[in-house]
Amino acid sequence: MTRPPLRVGVIGVGLMGSDHAERIALRTAGVLLAGVTDPDTERARALAERLGTTVHDDPFALIASPDVDAVVVASPGFVHEDQVLACLEHGKGVLCEKPLTMDDESSLRLVEAEEALGRRLVTVGFMRRFDPEYTAVKAALASGAHGRLLLLHNTHRNRSVPNADFRSEMIVRDSLAHEVDASRFLFGQEVVEVTVLSPAPTSHAGAGVVDPQVAVFRMSGGGLVTNEVFVNSQVGYEVRFEAVAERGSLTAGLASSGVLCTRVTTDGGAWGGVVPDDYRTRFARAYDAEVQAWADAVRAGTAVGPSAWDGYAATAVSTAGMASLASGLPVPVRLATQPALYAGDD
Ligand code: ISE
C-alpha cells in the first residue's frame, strides 16, 4: 500500500523558509506543502498564492492543525524554543533551521523534552551533512585509509550581511555554528574549547562589528580546527575546508557546483569559474537531499540527520564562543551527559 504524502507546514518564509517552501512544493517526493505562516502576512500570502497553499494565522495554529503532519521551522532563532516544543507536544516531526535556540540552556531544555518523549522528532538544519563533498570526505576518513584526522581548516565567507542591527556575536551564533557542526561531524568528536580572535575588521562591517573572525576549536580527541568566518567579503559565498590526516589531506569546496574558485577578486569574479552568490546556490544539492531525507524519515516514523543533541552541542560551543569573543580568551565547552536516545548517532 502506498503511504499518503507527508503534509508539511513551513513557519517563517524569509530567505530560507521560502526556499524550503518552494523545495517542498516543487522538488520533494512524497510531500505536500500544507501551509505557511509568517509575521509578515503579505509575504506569506504572496508565497502561498504562488505555491498553491494556505496561510495560517500563527505558528502555533499551523503546528496544531490536523492538516499538518510535520513542520519546517525557519523563523528567527529566538522563537525556536517554543515552536519546537509545540511540535514535540503535538508529536510532529520538525526540521528546525539552525541555531536550534539562542543558548545552551534553552537547547538543553529541548533535548530533555525529546528525551522525555522517548523518540527523536527533531532534525536540525545543518545541511552540510547532506552535501556530497562533506559526506565523501567523511567516508574517506572513516575508511581508515588516511589514518586519524589531525587538523581541519575551514573557510566561510559571505558576500555581505545587512549592517543594520548586525552584531559581532551573530557571526559566532549564526555562521560559525556551521563549522561547529561540520567539525563535530568530520571528527566524530565534541568541541571542548573555543577561542575567538578578533583581527582588525574590514571597513565594510558596521560600526563596532568584528568581521572577519578567526576561531580555534580544540576537539575532544586532541585535534585542532581553525576557522575563518568573514561575512562581508564583498565577493560571494565561499565555503571550503581542508582536512589534514596522518596520511594525506582532503579538500572540499573548491569545485562546488562544478566551478573552480582558485583565485577570487572583486574585479570581475574568479579565475576558473564563478563564486556562488549565497548558501542557497552553494548548498542547493545539500538542502534538497536534507529535506528529502527528513521527509522520508518522518513518513517512515524514524529520524535522520543532526539531532536535538547536535543542535544543543552547537549552541553550547556558540555560547562559549560568544564569551571568548568578548574576552579574547579560550573558553571551555561543558556539555551535559548525552541521553541514551542519541547514543550511536553519527
Ligand atoms: C546564515 O544564517 C546561514 O546559515 C549561512 O549558511 C551562513 O553562511 C551565513 O553566514 C548565515 O548568516
108 and 142 fall within a common domain: no
Rounded to two decimals, the pTM is 0.94
CATH code for the domain in which residue 325 is found: 3.30.360.10
Q: Residue 175, SS3?
A: helix
Using the atom order of ligand 1, give the atom closest to the CA of residue 98.
4
CA 188 to chain centre: 17
Burial class of residue 16 (count of CB atoms within 10 Å of its CB; 0-12, 13-18, 19+): buried
Report the nearest atom of ligand 1 relative to the CA of 239.
8
Answer yes or no: is 342 within a domain: no
Residues in the chain with pLDDT < 70?
A: 1, 255-274
Q: Same domain, yes or no, for 121 and 150?
A: no
CA of 65 to the centre of ligand 1 (A): 30
Burial class of residue 245, CB neighbours in 10 A (0-12, 13-18, 19+): buried
Do 262 and 150 belong together in one domain? yes
Q: 38, 63 in Cβ contact below 8 A? A: no
Residue 346 lies in a domain: no
Atom of ligand 1 nearest to the CA of 175: 10
The answer on 225 and 139 residing in a single domain is: yes
The alpha carbon of 246 and the centre of ligand 1 are apart by a number of angstroms equal to 31
3-class DSSP state of 172 = helix
pLDDT score at 272: 52
Residue 297 lies in a domain: yes
> Which atom of ligand 1 is the closest one to the Cα of 229?
10
Q: Dihedral through CA 240, CA 245, CA 247, CA 248, nearest 10? A: 10
121 and 132 co-located in one domain: no
Q: Atom of ligand 1 at shortest distance to CA of 161?
A: 12
**Residue 15 placed within a domain:** yes
d(C-alpha 314, C-alpha 322), whole Å: 12
Q: Are residues 134 and 103 in the same domain?
A: no
Question: Which residue has the least CA distance to atom 6 on ligand 1?
Answer: 279
Q: How many other CB atoms are found less than 10 A from the CB of residue 285?
A: 15
- The number of distinct structural domains making up the chain is 2
Tell me which residues have their CB closer than 6 angstroms to ligand 1.
Answer: 158, 174-175, 178, 231, 279
Whether residue 160 sits in one domain with residue 272? yes
Q: Are strands 149-157 and 191-197 parallel, antiparallel or unpaired?
A: unpaired
CATH number (domain holding residue 20): 3.40.50.720
Residues 204 and 325 in one domain: yes
In a domain, 212, yes or no: yes
Give the count of alpha carbons within 13 A of 206, CB side only: 12
Which domain covers residue 167, as residue numbers?
128-277+314-332
Cell 557546483 identifies what position?
Answer: 257
- 152 with 83, same domain? no
Ligand 1 pocket: which of 159, 235, 279 to mutate (most atoms within 8 A of CB)? 279
- Answer whether residue 282 is part of any domain: no
Ligand 1 center to 174 CA (angstroms):
6
* Together in a domain, 69 and 155: no
**Which helix or strand (DSSP H or E) is residue 94 part of?**
strand 93-96
Quote the pLDDT of residue 72: 98
Q: Tell me: do 141 and 81 sit in the same domain.
A: no
**Helix intervals (H) in the chain:** 15-26, 41-51, 59-64, 80-89, 104-117, 132-142, 168-170, 177-187, 279-282, 284-299, 308-327
CA 111 to ligand 1 center in whole angstroms: 23
Q: Whose CA is nearest to atom 9 of ligand 1?
A: 175
| Measured distance CA(28)–CA(291) in Å, rounded | 7
> Which residue type sits at 157?
R
DSSP code at position 190: -
Can you tell me which residue has the cell 534553552? Answer: 106
At residue 255, the pLDDT reads 64
Q: How far is the CA of 175 from the centre of ligand 1 (A)?
A: 5
User: Residue 240 region, left (φ>0) first, then alpha (ψ -120 to 50), else beta?
Assistant: beta
State whether 62 and 180 are in the same domain.
no
